Amino acid sequence: MEKDLQAAFVHHFNQAENKMSREQKLMAWAASLGFDTDAAIQIGGHYVPVLREGAQVYVSGQIPRVLNKVVVTGRAGVEVNVEQAQYAAKLCVLRALTLLRQELGSLDAIARILRINVYVQSGEDFTQQSEVADGASDLLFDILGEAGAHTRTSVGVYQLPKNATVELDVVATVTPAYLQVCS
């Protein structure tokens, strides 16, 4: 009986989740991960966080910063376990999607995420960079559906800015309807 109730709950939750808009999914994930999508995204340096060229939109590298604090730091496989590194990757995705939403006005303007590059500050023997990147990939797919399916590179690196465990960048393309509105 308990398994039937659990199955019914999961089925109901999945149906409700499927009816949620991209914006609602972004907000739900942000709340569950402790990220405020309305807070200013701090940029450190002389570059633009988002650059649009035709139908493509490039998001500069994002680290797991919440407000002015990098919340996951250190080397994966040494100070940080895989689950913590996946959490960092998800925060990076939330930052990137927030920037895309600010730039485009809505996540519905995204036709597809074309590519992500995920850099993982790794210990010498750490080889699970792709598992860390799965945190980012899974979240993109969950929020954007098929439009979140993308190509990807995951790379282990010696060091990242601010001692962040993960940094990722995103390339997206916008819908033809969005391009017509902007023309």
User: Does position 1 have pLDDT exceeding 80, yes or no?
Assistant: no
Q: What is the tens place of the pLDDT at every residue in 19-71?
A: 899 999 999 999 999 999 988 887 878 899 999 999 999 999 999 999 889 99
Residue 3: the pLDDT is: 52
Crossing angle for the helix pair 129-144 and 22-33, to the nearest 10 degrees: 140
Q: Check if CATH label 3.60.15.10 holds for domain 21-182.
A: no
The sign one gets for the Cα dihedral 115, 134, 110, 98 is negative
Can you tell me whether residue 11 is helix, strand or coil? helix
Q: Strand 50-53 relative to strand 56-62: parallel, antiparallel, unpaired?
A: antiparallel
Helix, strand, coil percent values for the chain (each to nearest 5) = 45, 25, 25
Domain residue limits, the chain: 21-182
Q: What is the pLDDT of residues 90-140, one digit of tens each?
A: 999 999 999 999 999 999 999 999 999 999 999 999 999 999 999 999 999
pTM, rounded to two decimals:
0.88
Angle at 37 between CA 45 and CA 137, to 5 degrees: 85
Backbone angles phi, psi at 22, to 5 degrees: -60, -40
